[in-house]
């Protein structure tokens, strides 16, 4: 796991609920659980501060790293995508984003694609992106920051479920995603039982919990969380999510107690 990702996960899964701030010495000890040395930790924290993810202040001889507003927003979005997968019944409507970007604005075209992908839209055609979720307002707000792009927002229905499934298969590589989910299910099923995870030593529980998030995180950002009507039979995504949540919850107690102990140990 990369130090940058570990830091985001430490703050997102634990430190945000303890005020969103930690002293450098405490962070160094927590990162040491993942084999990240103090010198590497200082370099990464300094770089992330310059990028606006952390603010710093002095507390005696210690530097305290606090989440910025930018970081709070990112962690809120990430938590919603990872933990709160939607299961609402589909209304049968597709939300469509049609855009046009001047040929010379290649960087902006890529920003538009990344933004739409982040929101769960998929490309039916190069400049036509679809989502079954009511996210047109979010798309409009996000794409307002791409001034060279002309955007049209539409809502539409197909001729039936077979057409819906064909469009979903064109917009997203569900075959590959399904195979990757199946592999993840196998890995999660091989974890110790929840009762055993809940009794692990604190440092080990924290290491496993952050590792679990790291392994699962990539799926919600690849998976548009399609309604059941659009998914292949025996879709393994729901099973993977349930297993992830069970292990994540079981590890919470010992991991959180350990984080609190480390923070208290470095609190003058």
**Does residue 203 register a pLDDT over 80?**
yes
- List pLDDT tens digits, range 70-93: 999 989 888 888 887 766 789 999
Q: pLDDT averaged over the chain?
A: 92
Average pLDDT of the segment spanning 33-38: 94
Start-to-end Cα distance in the chain: 31
- pLDDT of residue 99 exceeding 90: yes
How far is the C-alpha of 189 from the C-alpha of 15, rounded, in Å? 28
pLDDT computed for residue 81 by the predictor: 80
Separation between Cα atoms, residue 131 and residue 93, nearest integer Å: 9
Q: Please check the confidence at residue 64 and state whether its pLDDT lies above 90.
A: yes
pLDDT digits (tens, 9 = 90+) for 107-126: 888 989 988 998 889 999 98
């Amino acid at each position: 796991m990369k130090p940058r990702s570990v830091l985001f996960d430490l703050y997102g899964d634990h430190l945000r609920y303890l005020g969103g701030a930690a002293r450098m010495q405490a962070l160094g000890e927590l990162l040491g659980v993942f084999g990240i040395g103090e010198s590497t930790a200082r370099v990464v924290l300094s770089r992330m501060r310059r990028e606006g993810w952390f603010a710093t202040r002095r507390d005696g001889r210690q530097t305290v790293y606090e989440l910025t507003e930018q970081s709070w927003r990112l962690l809120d979005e990430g938590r919603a995508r990872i933990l709160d997968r939607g299961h609402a019944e589909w209304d049968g409507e597709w939300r469509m984003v049609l855009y046009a970007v001047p040929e010379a604005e290649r960087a902006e075209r890529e920003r538009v694609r990344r933004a739409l992908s982040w929101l769960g839209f998929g490309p039916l055609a190069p400049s036509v992106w679809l989502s079954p979720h009511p996210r047109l307002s979010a798309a409009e707000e996000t794409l307002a920051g791409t001034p060279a792009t002309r955007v049209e927002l539409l809502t539409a229905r197909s001729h039936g479920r077979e057409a819906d499934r064909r469009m979903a298969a064109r917009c997203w590589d569900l075959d590959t995603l399904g195979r990757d989910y199946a592999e993840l299910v196998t890995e999660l099923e091989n974890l110790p039982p929840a009762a055993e995870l809940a009794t692990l030593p604190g440092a080990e529980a924290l290491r496993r919990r952050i590792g679990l998030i790291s392994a699962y995180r990539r799926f919600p950002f690849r998976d548009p969380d399609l309604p059941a009507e659009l998914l292949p039979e025996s879709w393994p995504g729901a099973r993977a999510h349930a297993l992830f949540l069970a292990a994540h919850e079981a590890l919470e107690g010992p991991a959180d107690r350990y984080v609190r102990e480390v923070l208290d140990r470095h609190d003058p």
